[in-house]
Chain A
Amino acid sequence: DQQVKQNSPSLSVQEGRISILNCDYTNSMFDYFLWYKKYPAEGPTFLISISSIKDKNEDGRFTVFLNKSAKHLSLHIVPSQPGDSAVYFCAASALSGFSQKLVFGQGTRLTINP
């Protein structure tokens, strides 16, 4: 039973346009959400996060939106750049004790075309 789902395995966007990556979750206990970016042969690197008490968080070209009623979050990248080509993972966490256990989605491969 997958609790975090990224239904689009891949996405192709033209350079300069907006990239929108989507993520759905099923567990109502999740209260913190993160996006990680992964290049080939490297580990995931933190990109941006959002707490469940907010519905939007912005950091430069990256904005994450959270819709708790729909259990949906999205990552917007604008404008998209060639260096943004990578696999993006959505992750969620429930603050239980000391564990920072993250539940990840399957990832979406983003390709930015020149």
Chain B
Amino acid sequence: EAGVTQFPSHSVIEKGQTVTLRCDPISGHDNLYWYRRVMGKEIKFLLHFVKESKQDESGMPNNRFLAERTGGTYSTLKVQPAELEDSGVYFCASSQDRTQGAWANEKLFFGSGTQLSVL
């Protein structure tokens, strides 16, 4: 079974440009999360989708970030316009519906991340 897939794996853009990151979750996973790790610091939550609905977007830094999950399958995260401080590794993660399983058994499955460098 395929894991969480993210692309591109690396993106180098100039300040002011637009970048779109894509995440394909594990098939059948209703929950999809975006996280970000900046400059070797902690991994920070950005937002959470349940199917196509945004459940929690409290971690989104500002309105330059736009996440979508049309049809409840793959998700995109667009940064427009990109700023220097947006550089970091963007991780996507997915999990099954927690209401159907014991919390103790539920885990997040992470993708390999997209390394974004804004110059």
Contact = CB atoms under 8 A, between A and B. Distances in A.
Interface residues of B, number: 32
Interface in B17-56: 31, 33, 35, 40-45, 48, 50, 55-56
Interface of A: 2, 4, 32, 34, 36, 41-46, 49, 51, 89, 91, 95, 97-107
Contacts of A44: 43, 91, 110
B103 A2 contact: no
Contacts of B42: 2, 4, 89, 104-107
B50 A98 contact: yes
Nearest to A50: B104
B93 interface: yes
B95 interface: yes
A21 B48 CA distance: 29
B95 A100 contact: yes
Given A43-B110, A44-B43, A46-B109, 12 more contacts: A43-B4, A44-B91, A98-B31, A99-B55, A99-B56, A100-B48, A101-B48, A102-B43, A102-B45, A102-B108, A104-B35, A107-B40
A89 B44 CA distance: 12
B45 to A, nearest CB: 5
A103 B111 CA distance: 17
Nearest to B10: A41
B116 to A, nearest CB: 14
Given A43-B4, A44-B91, A51-B104, A103 B45 contact: yes
Contact of A43 (B45, B48, B56, B93): B93
Contacts of B109: 46
A108 to B, nearest CB: 12
B43 A104 contact: yes
